[in-house]
Chain A
Amino acid sequence: MNPARKRKLTIILFLLAGLAVAVGLTTYAFRQNINLFYDPTQIAEGEAPVDVRIRAGGMVEDGSVVRDPDSLKVEFRVTDFTSAVTVRYEGILPDLFAEGQGVVTTGQLNSDRVFVAEQVLAKHDEKYMPPEVSDALEKSKARAAEEGREMPEY
C-alpha cells in the first residue's frame, strides 16, 4: 500500500474509533432515557419517580393475577426475581399476557408504591418451540417437581 493511502486509512480508522468512543459515552450518559422501562428492583430502590408517567417491566409473578369478576380491572405483581411491584390495570390485556410471561406497562407509581397502568404490553422472549415440545417440557417439569429434582433450564 502506498504511504498516502496508508495515511488516509489510518485517519479514517482513528476518526471511527473516536466517533465510537463519543457515541459510546453519549449513550452511556443517556442510558436511563434509552432504557424503555424501570425494572422492579429500581422501583423498590426508589430510583423511579412517583406520580410521573413511566414504564415498568418484568415478569408477571406466578399466581399473582387477580381479576375483578364484574369489570376489566386486574391486579398482578411484576417481578424481576429480586423485587416485585404491584400493578393495577383496567382494560383488555394482550393475548400473550400470562403468568410467567414478560410485560411492559405504562403508567404512574402512586404514593402507596402501587403502579397504576394505562397500557400493558406483552414482552416475549427469544425462545420458540412447537406446542408439543412445550407440553412435554411442562410435564417433565411437573414430574421433576414431584420427585423433588431441579430441572435444568432449556
Chain B
Amino acid sequence: MWQFFHKLGSPKWFYGIAGRFMPWLLGAGLLLSLCGIVWGLLFAPQDYLQGNSYRIIFIHVPTAFLAQSVYMMIAVAGVITLVWKMKVADVFVRSVAPVGVVLTLLALFTGAVWGKPTWGAYWVWDARLTSMLILLFLYLGIIGLGYAYSDEKTAARSVAVLAIVGVVNIPIIKYSVDWWNTLHQPATFRITEKPTMPAEMWVPLLLVVLGTYLLFGWIAFYRMQTEILRRERRTRWVRELVQTGGQSQLKTGGA
C-alpha cells in the first residue's frame, strides 16, 4: 500500500500508468454515459408533475455530483501536497481545476434552464444555488492563485491551502437543502434510504453518473500527462519519449 503510494509520487511512473488506464476509462465512460443519456432522454417515463422537463436531471445531477466530488479530490490532493510534498498531487490539482469550473458552470446552467419552467425563475439566491456559485469562485480562485506565483513550489503550497480551506463549502452545499428553507428540492438519493424515484428513472441516471466519473478520470489523466510533460520537459525520460514518439509518428506518417 505504502509502496504504491510512494510510486505515485514519481511523475514518470504516473505518466506510464495513466496512459495504460486512459483508453479503458474513455471507452467505458462513453459507453455508460451514452447508454444512460439515450435511455434517460428517450425511453425513461415522464414525470407526473413536470412532464418532460425533468429530463434535464440526467445532465444536471451528474455534473453537480462531479463538481463537488472533484473539489473533494482536489482538497485531498492539497493535503498530500502539503504533507508529503508529492509533485503528482499538485499536478492533479492544477490539471483538474479548470475541469471543475466547467462542471460547476454546467450544473449552474442546466439548473437555471430547469428552474425556469418548473419554479418560474432562472435564479434564486437560496442556500443551495448560492453555495454552488461559491464553489465556482473557489475553483476560479485555485486557478488564479496557481498563476500568481512564478515559483512552482510556493504556488503549489498556496493552492493547496486554498483548496483545503474551501472544502468546508462542500457539506454546506450538500446539506443546504436540509438545514435551511430553500427553493431547491431536497436530495432524491440518500445513502440510507431508497431513492424517491422509480428504477426506470434512477438506473439510467446512475449510468450517466458512473459514466461521467469515468470520463472525468480520462480527462484528468490526459491533462495530468500534458502537465507532467510540461514540468519535466528538461528531464531525460521526457526527451527520450519525445524523440521516440516523434519517430513512431514519422513512421506512421510515411506508411
Interface residues of A (CB under 8 A from B): 5, 8-9, 12, 15-16, 19-20, 23, 27, 31, 34-39, 57, 94-96, 101, 104, 119-135
Contacts and interface: CB of A to CB of B under 8 A. Distances in A.
Interface in B183-198: 183, 185-188, 196-198
Contact of A130 (B45, B82, B120, B167): B45
17 contacts: A5-B84, A8-B83, A12-B164, A35-B180, A36-B127, A36-B182, A94-B118, A95-B117, A96-B49, A104-B124, A121-B119, A123-B119, A123-B185, A124-B49, A127-B196, A128-B197, A134-B49
A23 to B, nearest CB: 5
Best-buried of A36, A101, A119, A134 by chain B (most CB within 10 Å):
A36
Contact of A36 (B172, B183, B187): B183
A125 B186 contact: yes
Given A12-B164, A38-B181, 18 more contacts: A8-B83, A23-B168, A36-B124, A36-B181, A95-B117, A96-B120, A101-B49, A120-B120, A122-B119, A122-B120, A123-B119, A125-B196, A126-B186, A128-B50, A128-B188, A130-B45, A132-B45, A133-B48
A57 B181 contact: yes
A130 B200 contact: yes
Contacts of B48: 129-131, 133-135
Contacts of B167: 16
A126 B118 contact: no
A27 B47 contact: no
* Interface size classification for chain B: 35 or more
B110 interface: no
Task: State the majority secondary structure of interface residues on B.
Answer: loop
Interface string B47-64: 111100010010000000
Contact of B47 (A15, A120, A130, A135): A130
B181 A37 contact: yes
B46 A130 contact: yes
A125 B54 CA distance: 12
Contacts of B127: 34-36
B42 interface: no
Interface in B78-116: 79, 82-84
A27 B172 contact: yes
B177 to A, nearest CB: 9
A60 to B, nearest CB: 13
